[in-house]
Each structure stands twice: as C-alpha cells, then as structure tokens.
C-alpha cells in the first residue's frame, strides 16, 4: 500500500501524541497516585445528622490510620458546622465533608484544598497544616441568597 509522505508524518505525529498523553495519564494515576475525588462514598443526605462521622462534626484524633486527625464538616445553606476549629501545627488531617441540602463549595483559602460538596456524596482530602495561622473556608459554588455569607475558619496553632 502506498502512503503519501505527509500522511505518514501525520500518522506518526498522531500516534506519538496518543502515546504521550496516555503515558501522562498513566504516570499520574499509577506512579503519582492521583485519582478523582472520592465520589464512591455516599451518604443519605436526609440522614446526615444521624450518620457517622457526620453526627459529630469537628476535629477528632484517630488511631491506626494514615492520618492523625479527622476533621468532619457538615455544610448547609448558609453555614458550615463547625464554624471554627483549632488544628495542631504539623498534624496530618483527613478532611471529610458533605452537604445536607444543595451543592456547596469547600475551599480553604491559601491552600490547595478545594472540594465540591454534593448532596448524597462524601468529599475527602488529606493534608498537613505546616504553617500556623488562620485559614478561611469559603463556599465557591453559588448556593442561594446567603452564598456570600457562607464561611468557616481553621486556626492552626502550635
Ligand atoms: Cu454554599 Cu455557596
């Protein structure tokens, strides 16, 4: 079969691109361990207050896990529970959050924590707070008339 030179170049270019992009995805997933947010964990959004761990929002020390603390948040229009929390400096914290009503955001300003909280799903993120100070949590998904009032605070203390 005869192939034009340009056709060959184009095919090689296309296949090289394909292999390159698949390698990027592969390295990111299997070597760096990146994965989509934990949409696999579900919760009955009508029974959030009675479902563990959301029956006790706040910071809890845990044993035998890859992290030292679990920081549990319940979001609803237009607040987060807890409204303020103190976290020890350098602690490895698993943030676990969900919403009781509509979609809310969960962005911790000045960090790379930025989750979407969807009704019926649990959003989780593990991080280490290694800089003392106050961190503002804001809702970055428009959720209604009080959206701009929706915030919470993390205080990282020594
Ligand atoms: Cu909650 Cu915007």
Residues 75 and 131 grouped into a single domain = yes
Cα R_g (the chain), whole angstroms: 21
Q: With respect to residue 56, please indicate whether it lies within any of the assigned structural domains.
A: yes
Per-residue pLDDT, 3:
87
Per residue in 74-86, pLDDT tens?
Answer: 999 999 999 999 9
Per-residue pLDDT, 116:
94
**Ligand 1 atom at minimum distance from 150 CA:** 1
Q: With respect to residue 39, please indicate whether it lies within any of the assigned structural domains.
A: no
Q: Say if residue 153's pLDDT is above 70.
A: yes
Q: Say if residue 68's pLDDT is above 80.
A: yes
Residues 18 and 53 grouped into a single domain = no
Q: How many CB atoms lie within 10 A of CB 21?
A: 10
Q: With respect to residue 40, please indicate whether it lies within any of the assigned structural domains.
A: no
Per-residue pLDDT, 114:
93
Contact 152, 74 (CB under 8 A): no
Residues 63 and 113 grouped into a single domain = yes
Share of residues in the chain with pLDDT > 70 (%) = 97
Ligand 1 pocket, residues with Cβ under 6 angstroms: 78, 104-105, 139, 141-143, 147, 150
Query: Chain-wide mean pLDDT for the chain?
Result: 92
Residues 52 and 119 grouped into a single domain = yes
**Ligand 1 atom at minimum distance from 143 CA:** 2
Q: Say if residue 38's pLDDT is above 80.
A: no
Rounded average pLDDT over 44-57: 90
Residues 121 and 70 grouped into a single domain = yes
Per residue in 69-120, pLDDT tens?
Answer: 999 999 999 999 999 999 999 999 999 999 999 999 999 998 889 999 999 9
Q: Say if residue 138's pLDDT is above 90.
A: yes
- 115 Cα to the center of ligand 1, angstroms: 12
Provide the pLDDT confidence category of residue 37 given band limits of 50, 70 and 90. Answer: low
- 84 Cα to the center of ligand 1, angstroms: 17
Q: How many residues does the chain have?
A: 158
Report how far apart, in Å, the C-alpha atoms of 20 and of each of 11, 24, 70, 87, 126 are: 14, 6, 38, 42, 30
Domain count, the chain: 2
Task: Give the residue from 35, 73, 93 showing the smallest Cα distance to 153.
Answer: 73
Q: How many CB atoms lie within 10 A of CB 141?
A: 18
- 101 Cα to the center of ligand 1, angstroms: 10
- 63 Cα to the center of ligand 1, angstroms: 33
Q: Say if residue 43's pLDDT is above 70.
A: yes
Q: Which residue's C-alpha comes closest to atom 1 of ligand 1?
A: 104
């Amino acid at each position: 079969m005869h192939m034009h030179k340009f056709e060959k170049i184009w095919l090689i270019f296309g296949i090289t691109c394909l292999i390159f992009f698949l390698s990027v995805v592969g390295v990111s997933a299997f070597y760096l361990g990146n994965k989509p947010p934990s949409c696999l964990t579900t919760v009955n959004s009508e029974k959030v207050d009675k479902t563990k761990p959301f029956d006790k929002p706040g910071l809890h020390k845990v044993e035998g896990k890859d992290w030292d603390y679990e920081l549990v948040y319940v979001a609803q229009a237009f607040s987060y529970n807890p409204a303020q929390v103190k976290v020890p400096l350098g602690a490895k914290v698993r943030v676990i959050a969900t919403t009781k009503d509509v979609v809310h955001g969960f962005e911790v300003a000045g960090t790379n924590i930025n989750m979407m909280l969807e009704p019926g799903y649990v959003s989780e993120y593990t991080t280490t707070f290694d800089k003392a100070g106050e961190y503002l949590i804001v809702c970055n998904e428009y959720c209604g008339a009080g959206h701009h009032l929706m915030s919470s605070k993390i205080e990282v203390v020594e």
